[in-house]
Structure 1
Amino acid sequence: MSDTSSDKNEAIQFVVNRVGAYQDGAPEGTVEAELRKGLEEADLTLDDEQVTKLADAIEANDGTVDAASVLG
């Protein structure tokens, strides 16, 4: 993700924060689905592996995730 602009990083982080804020107790698969929906609404494109990494991190860390660190 080194070629990603800082504006894109900020936008991705916004989506991650939004999804992370309500992930607690969400049914299986909801976090990833909502993450994909939020990214699409923000006109952001990540590959499937990146979305899965973010969703897994959100679920594992109770919603608190630094997207840039997860995506490397």
Structure 2
Amino acid sequence: MHAYKVTNIRGRDMVIQLDKPLDLKTKIYDASGKKIGVLVKIMGPVDEPYGLVSLDSQGVQTDVVYVN
């Protein structure tokens, strides 16, 4: 599993810092391996992209998320 840093969480939206390309609708997991959301948008410059994740539920608090 590859780890990504969480930069912001607001409601059911989470912004993560990407260091390698991902496809839209990529499933995002927490440290325990539970699916917490999907990648819905890629933003920012090509050399430092960010991803917008739509969370399955509110109240997720984490500093790192994972992709299989």
Question: Structures share a fold, TM > 0.5?
Answer: no
TM-score by length of 1: 0.35
Q: Which is richer in strand? A: 2
Q: TM-score, normalised by structure 2?
A: 0.36
Q: Answer 1 or 2: which has greater helix percent.
A: 1
